[in-house]
Structures are given as C-alpha cells and as structure tokens.
Amino acid sequence: MFNVDKPSLHELHSLSQLRRSAFAAVIGLVLIFITIVLPAEYGIDPTSVGRMLGLTEMGEIKQELHDEAEQDHQQNGDSQSLNFMNSVIGIFAGSAHAEELWKDTITFTIEPGDHRETKLAMNKGDHAQYLWTSSGGRINFDLHAHGDTQSKTYEKGRGATEGEGGFVAPFKGEHGWFWRNRDKGKVTITLKINGTYHEVVQ
C-alpha cells in the first residue's frame, strides 16, 4: 500500500547522541526552574534574571500572601481552641453555680393514696426559692403557711408534675407543702430549696 524507505544506520541517532540530548534537556529544565520558576513562585532569584523579567516581585507577593494566610489559619485555630475551652469552662462553671444555688435538695417517695408534708421554719421577712419535679406520676399539692394564729395559701395544684417559684414569709411560722398522691403508682418528688429559712421540717 505505502512504500516507506527504511532509514539507513548512519541516519539513526547513536546512543551517545541520545545521552547528550537528554543531558541538554535536563540542563534546560534546571535553567528554566532557576531563572523562571523559583523567582515567579517563591521570590528566589539566584541569577537576577527573574528580577529583570519582573518575576521575582510576583513571587515575593505570592510568598507574602501565603505567609499571611498561614498566620490567619493559626490565629483562627487558636481562637477556635480558646472558644472551645471557654465553652467547656462555662459548662462546668454553670453546673457548679447551679449546684451552689440550692441550699437543700430533698427526695422522697409517696405511696398511692398517701400524703406527706415538707415545711420550712421561717421568720417574718425570710424568703425562699424552690424547684420541684415528680417522677412516676402526678401529684396534688398545697403550698401554704401557718403560725402565730395566722395562715396563708401561696399556691395549689392538682395532677402536677413540676413547680417553680418563690415567696416571702408574711409572718413567723412553718411555710411549705402538703403533698398527696392520688395516682395508682408511687410518685417520687425531688425538691430543691434555697433561701433564708432556718431549717427544713418533715
């Protein structure tokens, strides 16, 4: 189909010629790297050719931007670490504060149909804050006070599972809760109290 002349032996490159060509190519790549790539990418110009071509300044700008990016990354990392540590410390500090908030924590269980009282011995002007929850069922309660021939009802509830609030004693006496379990199962009450009361009476 096609007639192709086979090259003669003297037309083929010798092994030494191939080696010289490869060596020249390597030398050319090294020179390009030194005179073009190093100045343009890294701002390194050992031959001053890069500066003559305006490549060194470009490389120096690239390096400055790279260094600034690294510094920003490190600062952001330090900031994130600091924020994380502050968050952890805040959680533990908040938990510790919550525990310190309550002067007394009382837990008790009331059988079905049974009742119980929890009172605080207080003088006139004393105050109390409270938080209670029930587990296992609902509870009826009456938060009231009596003493010095006086009485007062602060709050009542039926079928409740939690309560929170505070009060100031209008007179000296016992101020607190009457609990009654009308459910069919046991109800456990956890009561947390803080204030200027003198003692818990049960």
Boundaries of every domain in the chain: 14-97, 104-201
DSSP 8-state assignment for residue 126: -
For the beta sheet containing 173-180, the strands, ordered from the edge strand earlier in sequence to the opposite edge, are: 150-160, 139-147, 173-180, 115-122, 199-201
Confidence of residue 94 (pLDDT cuts 50, 70, 90): very low
pLDDT for 112 equals 95
Burial class (CB in 10 A: 0-12, 13-18, 19+), 174: middle
pLDDT for 93 equals 41
pLDDT, the chain, mean: 79
pTM of the model: 0.52
The pLDDT of 84-88, averaged and rounded, is: 49
Q: For 104-201, give the CATH class.
A: mainly beta
DSSP3 helix / strand / coil % (the chain, rounded to 5): 40, 35, 25
Tokens describing residue 66: 């790279």
- 88: pLDDT strictly greater than 50: no
**Interacting residues of 38 by C-beta distance below 8 A, sequence separation 6+:** 44, 45, 46, 50, 59
Q: What is the pLDDT of residues 117-156, one digit of tens each?
A: 999 999 999 999 999 999 999 999 999 999 989 999 999 9
pLDDT for 20 equals 78
Location of structure tokens 């003669």: 8
- 51: pLDDT strictly greater than 50: yes
Top-confidence residue, 162 or 27: 162
